[in-house]
Chains A and B, each alone.
Chain A
Amino acid sequence: MEGVVFWLILTLVKILVILAIVLGIGAYLTLLERKVAAHIQRRPGPMVVGWHGLLQPLADGLKLITKEDLFPRYGNRFLYNLALVMALVPAALVFAVVPFGPEFELFDVKVKPMLTDVNVGLLLVFAFGSMAVFAIALAGWASNSKYALIGSMRKAGIVVSYEVVITFAVMGPIILAGTLSTYEIVQKQIQQELWYVWLQPLAFVVYMFAMLAETGRVPFDVQEAEAELVTGFTVEYGGMKFGLFPLVEWYIEVLSLSAIAVVLFLGGWSPINIPFLGFVDPLFFLGPFSPFLWFVLKVSLLFLFVLWLHWTLPRYRIDQITETAWKVMLPITLVNIVLTAVFAPLVWE
């Protein structure tokens, strides 16, 4: 009995910590993005609210919350609001299976720094990922606007294509690790003293592209395409509702998929890897905190890289995106799977 209560409390604490971190970081990532974009463009970015605009996300949130809640005429109010929930919940749920670090002992209890270590963790991730398409389709449909509809249809097309690609891309690491549990995959990489990115560079590149496509980042931000569609499927949303979509898409989803990328390809919380030789940890002095820091560092580097790409590249056209997915990326991943299957026994040795 006591065990169950303790387990419940622990889970609750974990949920709260993860949610707080994810949403808090999500909000602050907007500031980070604005600052990065600004400096790339030779501007200082937000400077007025707080020191170097440090309180800007709060001000933005306050502004968005106090705005009038508009609703398009002849729209479907239930679906309109449901779309928001559908967007936010699956994106946040992905973090349930993200391992932030190795198991540690707290008051003689072994705690895994993840919500739940399901043995089909990755399956869960991509199942949740494909839920996003419902949110977008609903948002586009319920808004009763042609622009929103076109934007949501574009996004739906992309998500459908890239779900396939991303699933095939992660097959390689899964074969190498022999498990679907995210925690186990990292453990395997540490045991084998090998980040899977060294063996799966193709899969990694494809994964990165698919991630950009799924999250609607440049060069795949056709659903926003402010020049053509204004803001795509969010065009009829206002206030905080409008703010939530980019928050989910551009920050929380990018964060979760970056975390998964780190888990799959970059050895999770392990320090820098030299293939087949071992790990070098320049952060050893932090002791037990070092793995957590490594995880955060890798995720933020990936995120910064995404930002960097976002503010450099132009955008593809929708037909070119889906074409690339089916004609280029899918064959590449299939070849990759075959090659991996051939070489995997060597790695297992």
Chain B
Amino acid sequence: MVKKVFERPLSWLERVLFIDFIRGLSVTIRQALRRTITTHYPYEKVTPPKRFRGFFGHKVVDGKEPQPAFDEWVERFKIKVEPGKSRCVVCLLCKRACPVPQLFEIEGEKLSDGRRRVSVFNMNLMLCTFCGFCVDACPVDCLFQSDIHETASYTRRDAVLDLQTLERIGRDWQRRREEEPDRIWIDDHQRLKLWHENQLNLPEVKR
């Protein structure tokens, strides 16, 4: 259970013949002759995994909402469901789960037919920790985290995502990656640059 660590001392012969240096040199020369492993950002990019916790987005109503939860919440808050618009039901659970709730600014508005819909949904990502609690809390699978990770901006205002931006990110996501299987990462030859020496063969995943 307890294992003593030790290392043999250098022998006299090893010292004189510089065997220790030669060992090190042989490692470096062997490494030098192997393939390079780097991804040449920004000319080449690794595709983030599906689970990546990047910028936020709102999935839009497209008929694939989690049922029956979605209908229940819609009825409960009398939400007007419009295809192509955010699924948000203004339940504020995301704000409640957030360690920094001040970053959310959520308001609903009442329409003339008596139903409600989300009108303001601002997220100030300057304060965000990208922990994903809000995503866990969302009961209707509306708020999610996309694979957008290049988030530098020129002004602080650009770090505030409003409803339109969130919906745009959501639509884009639903088009690109929603259907992807839940896999550790998708086949990506950029990633294989690093992993080829491990002889990694991921099994095929049915789409």
Contact = CB atoms under 8 A, between A and B. Distances in A.
A313 B36 CA distance: 21
A313 B21 contact: yes
A252 B139 CA distance: 68
Contact of B34 (A42, A44, A311): A42
Interface in B131-188: none
Contacts of B37: 42-43
- For chain A, the bracket of interface size reads 10 to 19
At the interface, is chain A mostly helix, strand, loop or mixed? loop
B31 A47 contact: no
A38 B34 CA distance: 12
Contact of A308 (B25, B34, B35, B40): B25
B10 interface: no
Given A42-B34, A42-B35, 11 more contacts: A36-B32, A40-B31, A42-B31, A42-B38, A43-B36, A44-B36, A44-B38, A47-B40, A308-B25, A312-B21, A313-B24
Interface string A302-315: 00000011011100
Contacts of B21: 309, 312-313
At the interface, is chain B mostly helix, strand, loop or mixed? helix
Contacts of A42: 31, 34-38
A11 interface: no
B202 interface: no
Interface string A271-314: 00000000000000000000000000000000000001101110
Interface residues of B, number: 14
Interface string A30-72: 0000001011111110010000000000000000000000000
Contact of A311 (B28, B35, B36, B38): B28
B111 interface: no
B205 interface: no
B40 A312 contact: no
B2 interface: no
B200 interface: no
A309 B21 CA distance: 8
